[in-house]
Amino acid sequence: MTNQEIAAVFEQVADLLEYQSANPFRVRAYRNGAKKIGELAEPLAAIHGDAARRLTELEGIGKDLAEKIATLLATGTLPMLVELQAQIPAGVLTLSRVPGVGPKKAAALHKELGISSLAELRAACEEQRVRGLKGFGAKTEETILKGLAVAEEAGVRMRWADAERVVDALLEHMRGEPAIKQLEIAGSFRRGRETIGDLDLLVDATDVPAAMDRFGAFPQVQETLARGDTKMTVRLASGLQVDLRVVPAESFGAALQYFTGSKDHNVIVRGRAKQQGLKVSDWGVFRIEAAEGESKETYIAGRTEEEVYAAVGLPWFPPEMREAREEFNWAAAGALPTLVTLEDIRGDLHMHTTASDGQDSIEAMVAAARARGLSYVAITDHSKRVSMARGLDGDRLRRQWREVDQVNRQSDDVEVLKGIECDILEKGGMDLPDDVLAEADWVIASVHYGQNQSRQQITERILEALENPHVDMLAHPTGRLINRREPYDVDLDRVMAAAVKHRKLLELNANPARLDLNDVYCAAAKRLGIPIVINTDAHHTDGMDVMRFGVLQARRGGLTAANVANTRPFAEFRQLIGGE
Ligand code: DGT
Ligand code: CA
Ligand code: CA
Ligand code: ZN
């Protein structure tokens, strides 16, 4: 078993234990172990096989986990996981994703009312059977009904970053089969959509049954739903479905193009082909010729995507663009934008330290930025309104800025800006006085409270903040948490117009749970000339690794490096925000 596969097993154990309300330390031990194993460069099998070494020498691996790793390496399964899975029906886990339910309530709903799916939960709430349970009430029932709308989405659509962990493990597992020559994940995952309905795996193999057997043996597979000559579908323990298609090499590019989608993009590609007497299918591009009253199809392309697009007179499109939005207009003009990449990013302008709710010091965050090749950062802890996070008042903030100055003087390769993430108060106005904000290099305005206000009220608050001359950027402009919390009811068109008028920047928050602005509004910002800043909002040094998720979303919005402010060299960025 590979490290990724072992890590996936421990992740599942942690999920299931959490559901059972097991000791949180135990849950964390598995989660932590999974993370450490996932990051390990050396195969666990090699360490275990070396008589001179012990698995327990690894950080995060105690005696218990070491034994379980040994079992997994020897047998490929873990009796504990099998047992846990037997105790908990797959559908019940999804109940705990409903806001207001949680693992404990999910267990009660299952035990007392036999509920094991979202549909059953909805029915029970509507029939008012839930309010009678101990620890529930009419109010809880109402909350659950509201949360169900969110969770019904969440139950079927997984966040991209979560899907990626599955994808990494799956690809590594499949690479173990020598008959597999080419391997790609297609579908919405390849297009970088913020959530994924199911995974679409495409394989070119010399031995189809061997490839399918390998697929079925992926440790996360819970059930094989269908297996045919070229197609197979499985459901993973997490509930995620994976479709496999095995195709010959001469069709691999065509199938990849077809199954990457989007459907709307493909409809246009096929339409264009038809006009040229061609047919595009998942098997290839064919020339259609009428011969003796019959039409004959001749294969002309299909090995690679480039070949397929070229055959119909189109450029190869980065998958993130394939949504039938602007890409065909760009192609007609002969100018696809060169999408921003992670390597283009030079600064990170939103991060927290131990001064508020971060876990690391200013120095540690700057060192982490240096290690990631960044050349500037802004330290932006919370302001005092966020009392839960020990937000800073003017005095504490000024003291922190002296520290920032000191760190900045000692750092000759990373510039450190004195910043603040200042709350926009519920009643309107900024949480810190203008004379304090005036001393900052970089001011972020954020809404954290009063998210349920009316559209009028919340929009006005934000517009007022954007009028403040000290404010540089609006953070996470809609406040949504994917699958968890709806965006607040803000009129983004007015916000964008104000950003143009007052020359403010808008954030694309790279946290995989946030990712707002979304792709459509990133594209709107580009049209309006509003610079986007992609920030990690890191609360610890590892939190800086999420930058790439933000970059992916920006690419879906069609943004180039020029559209993203923090791709600029520091001096230019500083100029943009009105600094000297
Ligand atoms: P998802 O799974 O909901 O996140 O979104 P996709 O885009 O991955 O959709 P999926 O898994 O249903 O299908 C993968 C791709 O296969 C899709 O983007 C285009 C192609 N495809 C699937 N079904 C059809 C169809 O009925 N007609 C056409 N033209 N293409 C299809
Ligand atoms: Ca899919
Ligand atoms: Ca699919
Ligand atoms: Zn923040």
Q: What is the mean pLDDT of residues 235-243?
A: 90
Nearest residue (CA) to ligand 1, atom 17: 261
For the chain, what percent of residues have pLDDT higher than 90? 75
Which value, to the nearest 10 degrees, does the dihedral of the CA atoms of residues 410, 411, 417, 419 take?
A: -60
The fold of 251-332 is: Beta Polymerase; domain 3 (3.30.210)
Q: What is the pLDDT of residues 494-510, one digit of tens each?
A: 999 999 999 999 999 99
What is the distance in A from the centroid of ligand 1 to the CA of 200? 9
Residues 6+ apart with CB under 8 A from 373: none
Nearest of 217, 223, 147 to residue 177 by alpha carbon? 217
Q: Which residue has the tokens 């559908």?
A: 91
For the chain, what percent of residues have pLDDT higher than 70? 98
Tokens representing 338? Answer: 């060169």
Residue by residue, DSSP assigns 284-334 as: EEEEEEEETTEEEEEEEE-SSHHHHHHHTT-PPPPGGGTTTSSHHHHHHTT
CB-CB contact of 198 with 233 (8 Å)? no
What is the distance in A from the centroid of ligand 1 to the CA of 266? 10
Residues 6+ apart with CB under 8 A from 454: 489
Rounded Cα distance between 416 and 349, Å, is 9
Helix (H, G, I), strand (E, B) or coil at 458: helix
Q: What is the pLDDT of residues 59-115, one digit of tens each?
A: 889 999 999 999 999 988 898 888 888 777 766 777 877 777 877 788 889 888 988
Domain positions in the chain are 3-154, 158-246, 251-332, 342-576
Q: What residues does ligand 1 touch, defined as CB less than 6 Å away?
A: 187-188, 193, 196-198, 200, 258-259, 261-263, 266
Residues 6+ apart with CB under 8 A from 169: 2, 4, 5, 7, 8, 218, 220
The confidence band for 295, taking pLDDT boundaries of 50, 70 and 90, is: confident
Rounded Cα distance between 321 and 418, Å, is 37
pLDDT of 580 reads: 53
pLDDT of 153 reads: 59
Nearest of 3, 1, 14, 4 to residue 165 by alpha carbon? 4
Tokens representing 522? Answer: 């990133």
Q: What is the mean pLDDT of residues 228-255?
A: 95
Nearest residue (CA) to ligand 1, atom 5: 188
The confidence band for 304, taking pLDDT boundaries of 50, 70 and 90, is: very high
The dotted CATH code for 3-154 is: 1.10.150.110
Q: What is the pLDDT of residues 398-455, one digit of tens each?
A: 999 999 999 999 999 999 999 999 999 999 999 999 999 999 999 999 999 999 999 9
Q: What is the pLDDT of residues 538-567, one digit of tens each?
A: 999 999 999 999 999 999 999 999 999 999
Nearest residue (CA) to ligand 1, atom 23: 263
User: Amino acid letter at 183?
Assistant: L
pLDDT of 155 reads: 58
What region, left, alpha or beta, does residue 331 occupy, with left being phi > 0 and alpha being psi -120 to 50 degrees?
alpha
Rounded Cα distance between 459 and 262, Å, is 34
Q: What is the mean pLDDT of residues 241-247?
A: 97
CA dist 497 → 182, 206, 275, 430, 547 (Å): 47, 56, 41, 20, 27
Nearest residue (CA) to ligand 1, atom 2: 197
What is the distance in A from the centroid of ligand 1 to the CA of 157? 14
CB-CB contact of 260 with 187 (8 Å)? yes
What is the distance in A from the centroid of ligand 3 to the CA of 196? 10
Burial label for 245, CB within 10 Å (0-12, 13-18, 19+), is buried
Reported CATH class of domain 342-576: alpha beta
User: What is residue 217's DSSP assignment?
Assistant: T
Per-state percent for the chain, helix, strand, coil, to nearest 5? 50, 15, 35
The HSE-up count of residue 331 (CA atoms within 13 Å, CB side) is 20
pLDDT of 102 reads: 73
User: Amino acid letter at 468?
Assistant: N
Helix (H, G, I), strand (E, B) or coil at 279: strand
The confidence band for 244, taking pLDDT boundaries of 50, 70 and 90, is: very high
Rounded Cα distance between 571 and 579, Å, is 9
For a ligand 1 pocket test, name from 188, 244, 264, 281 the mutation site with the most ligand atoms within 8 angstroms of its C-beta: 188
Q: Looking at ligand 1, which atom is closest to the CA of residue 195?
A: 4
Tokens representing 440? Answer: 């900052």
Q: What is the pLDDT of residues 115-156, one digit of tens each?
A: 888 888 999 999 999 998 988 988 888 888 888 876 665 556
- Architecture label for domain 158-246: 2-Layer Sandwich (3.30)
pLDDT of 156 reads: 66
User: What is residue 431's DSSP assignment?
Assistant: S
For a ligand 1 pocket test, name from 263, 265, 267, 308 the mutation site with the most ligand atoms within 8 angstroms of its C-beta: 263
Rounded Cα distance between 166 and 160, Å, is 10
Residue by residue, DSSP assigns 113-130 as: H---SHHHHHHHHHTT-S
